[in-house]
Structure 1
């Protein structure tokens, strides 16, 4: 399997890296930016739009670029490399992905075109208190009202929910109708959004609906399967963002070991510390290959849900390992607010708990083990 990027993909990577390095090459710039609402730079968001990145995975007839999962992975990794706070995955991959998957042609043309231009930011309001990463909804209910719908209930946390111009909302349909998807405008009546800052510097919101008018996304009906797939595609993209963050954390740690002196010699002269850094590298490369494989499965139209679970498990384990080691190998400076290693670990932790953590992914994978044939390790057919 070829994991090398072609020339156009390499050009994309270099262009995105150049833009984000100019914006967030100095970690102090990011730290000051995320201290104020909306938690990201609107000018950088506009520049991402100018480069065509906000319409990257969408069809050209809807204002997009017609690129695939690998190109999305490249952008996500570069975002993670500087832990850029712009909601690329939340808006483009997740909310935009749902609109592209189930929306009508009119909805796609209007919303995806505006997203690609950077003038509209959508957010997916799905998580509910008391649930753990399921593709269904129960706390928000949808009631048909004439030709439209109204929503009632609460969603929390909704990443970037306070800033979003339009919300893609999952809601329980009457009877046994499953979970539907609806569009709610940011200025709709009966909509209350309370935003707050998350530990990694991002933004989330408590979103309440009180007979809030909504429009069905697409043809309506049960959209559970579409939600499951969209969540899986977002998990893969988050895996690539984690790869970028882990790569920077490892490089920063390696440079520190080469320059920081103890007992008259640099820390990389201590074999135990060098071995620990080598273990970090192994974790990173295992996670990188698994995430790239998952993107290629998605591109080929394979079992994206299972591939996403595998990528999430590997990147979760690697992120925890690399984050902890990066802080410990830096010593006391690693936990200070002024130094970036702690911020990378915080972001890796936040990603791990978005849409399902590593233990959750392991449980899902373990539940399907019985569906696979048993193979004798010595090569003889199993006859038990």
Structure 2
């Protein structure tokens, strides 16, 4: 499949770009909610606007009231979110959790609120300092007609703001996914401010009782669903990192055209031109890899999971290069809060860890390929 957008996809990109630049800009959203110490780290009014624009329903089937689009379209929105550092629940709620709810009886309970931009969801998988979904140890023990959940989760993005949480736990039958409401007895949530001013959470499940209706799919069959959810989240995070890289690069190139040294704009110096050209090529390669991964996901290809790891690793490295070059080329002022370039660096650090860093995905790809 060609690595470029169709006419309809290009129209969606233009719509998302204008909306994020106008309504989701850095000053009006990220800085505003950071400086006020907002407990959520994002604006609920903007989230409702996401719903009005139809963005929240991109991955929701038309039969359920959504747009019935795919991961390529979700990635288009994610790239513009990354370009503008727009704080929102889109990545976890409208991509990862919606993917979990596909085909589940739970979708009738939660999708209407997500579509309206009223409901926020979280995904609780990680339990250690690094992303290791294969090492889920949280227990789900049979209790009456349901389960009792015991264990801890961390790095739960928007966990303190969520109306419900999709939780991965290990039952006797195997890994199982549960939809747990925020006010469940025995669930303790501690909000944690992340490096980029977004808010994650540590969650302690102290014998949380859930009934069988809260199971997403079937007990013991959650591993396949979780793999699908993680692929969706990883590809979307890769798109956001491409956006972060693109936004940082654009800001840096603009600065190179304005800043003067020795009577010349610094962009005239060949060494900086070479570095900018190298950065551009790396960002374009990351964008192509991410688009390919999303196309394969939409096709249901057996090669999709491997390509998603390629995309997450490549986008992570390109994003890190972009923010590091950006801060360095800005010089000393790049380290000050007055300039937005440092905000891109902080978002890059969080996104690189979310759903696995480049080292994790390089290793995963090697294992998939039999090395």
Length-normalised TM-score, structure 1: 0.91
Between the aligned partners of 1:365 and 1:52, the Cα distance in structure 2 is: 34
Counterpart secondary structure, 1:251: helix
| Structure number with bigger Rg | 1
The answer on whether the counterparts of 2:29 and 2:87 sit within 8 Å (CA) in structure 1 is no
Counterpart secondary structure, 2:217: coil
Between the two proteins, the alignment pairs up a number of residues equal to 365
Match of 1:189 in 2: 185
1:45 to 44, 47, 51: 47
1:112 corresponds to 2:111:
yes
Match of 1:378 in 2: none
Match of 1:89 in 2: 91
Residues 110-149 of structure 1 correspond to what in structure 2 (within 5 A)? 110-129=109-128, 132-138=131-137, 140-149=138-147
The answer on whether the counterparts of 2:29 and 2:86 sit within 8 Å (CA) in structure 1 is no
Match of 2:9 in 1: 9
Between the aligned partners of 1:342 and 1:267, the Cα distance in structure 2 is: 20
Q: Which stretch shows the higher mean deviation, 326-335 or 362-371?
A: 362-371
TM-superposed deviation, 1:136: 4.8
The answer on whether the counterparts of 2:286 and 2:318 sit within 8 Å (CA) in structure 1 is yes
TM-superposed deviation, 1:131: 5.7
Aligned alpha-carbon RMSD (Å): 1.6
1:59-82 CA-to-partner distances (Å, cap 9, x unmatched) read 122221111111111111111110
Match of 1:154 in 2: 152
Counterpart secondary structure, 1:159: coil
Match of 1:268 in 2: 267
Q: Which stretch shows the higher mean deviation, 123-132 or 265-274?
A: 123-132
Length-normalised TM-score, structure 2: 0.94
The answer on whether the counterparts of 1:122 and 1:164 sit within 8 Å (CA) in structure 2 is yes
Q: Which stretch shows the higher mean deviation, 259-268 or 3-12?
A: 3-12
CA pair 6-134 structure 1, distance change in 2 beyond 3 A = same
CA pair 51-28 structure 1, distance change in 2 beyond 3 A = closer
Between the aligned partners of 2:75 and 2:155, the Cα distance in structure 1 is: 25
Between the aligned partners of 1:4 and 1:354, the Cα distance in structure 2 is: 26
Match of 1:333 in 2: 333
Between the aligned partners of 2:254 and 2:168, the Cα distance in structure 1 is: 46
Between the aligned partners of 2:150 and 2:359, the Cα distance in structure 1 is: 32
1:66-122 CA-to-partner distances (Å, cap 9, x unmatched) read 111111111111111101110211111112211115x22xx1122112211122111
Between the aligned partners of 2:61 and 2:309, the Cα distance in structure 1 is: 27
The answer on whether the counterparts of 1:135 and 1:228 sit within 8 Å (CA) in structure 2 is no
Between the aligned partners of 2:244 and 2:308, the Cα distance in structure 1 is: 18
The answer on whether the counterparts of 2:166 and 2:178 sit within 8 Å (CA) in structure 1 is yes
Between the aligned partners of 2:133 and 2:125, the Cα distance in structure 1 is: 9
TM-superposed deviation, 1:369: 3.9
CA pair 100-136 structure 1, distance change in 2 beyond 3 A = farther
Match of 1:309 in 2: 309
TM-superposed deviation, 1:42: 0.7
The answer on whether the counterparts of 1:76 and 1:241 sit within 8 Å (CA) in structure 2 is yes
Gaps of 5+ in 2: none
Match of 1:198 in 2: 194
1:162-188 CA-to-partner distances (Å, cap 9, x unmatched) read 0000111111103xx221111111111
1:225-260 CA-to-partner distances (Å, cap 9, x unmatched) read 211221112111111111111111111111101100
